[in-house]
Amino acid sequence: EIVLTQSPGTLSLSPGEGATLSCRASQRVSGDYLAWYQQRPGQAPRLLIYGASTRATGVPDRFRGSGSGTDFTLSISRLEPEDFGVYYCQQYGGSPLYTFGQGTKLEI
């Protein structure tokens, strides 16, 4: 099983600042099939990034994914109040087919 470890556990920032979230895999993520999700309280996860760096439809360009192999990063610039929530990374292709990180809570 590919285990994804996210850091930090919690990030406390102010509007206008930038955020950097990390996701480290226990083994190489094949094809860089790494996705990021945002989850606000009481809502389902929302896909932000797929293929490590491609923004999903409608995602602002303030969100940027990068990385390859075992180390991936989600960067959010110019934080806005609606960016608060929990962010998860997810890999595709191992066994089980999908696994998720434990999440990073972004407090604005």
Give the separation between CA 65 and CA 74, rounded to whole angstroms: 5
* Choice from 69, 84, 92, 105 touching another protein (CB under 8 A): 92
Which is nearer to another protein, 19 or 101 (by Cβ)?
A: 101
Give the three-class secondary structure for 81.
Answer: helix
Contact call for residue 47 and another protein (CB under 8 A) = yes
Bridge partners (DSSP) of residue 98 are: 92
Nearer Cβ to another protein (1/15): 1
Choose which of 76, 88, 104, 106 interacts with another protein (CB under 8 A).
88
The 10 Å Cβ neighbour count of residue 100 is 15
Q: Does the protein bind another protein through residue 61 (CB under 8 A)?
A: no
Helices and strands, counts by H and E, the chain: 0, 11
**Can you tell me which of 84, 93, 105, 108 binds another protein, judged by CB under 8 A?**
93
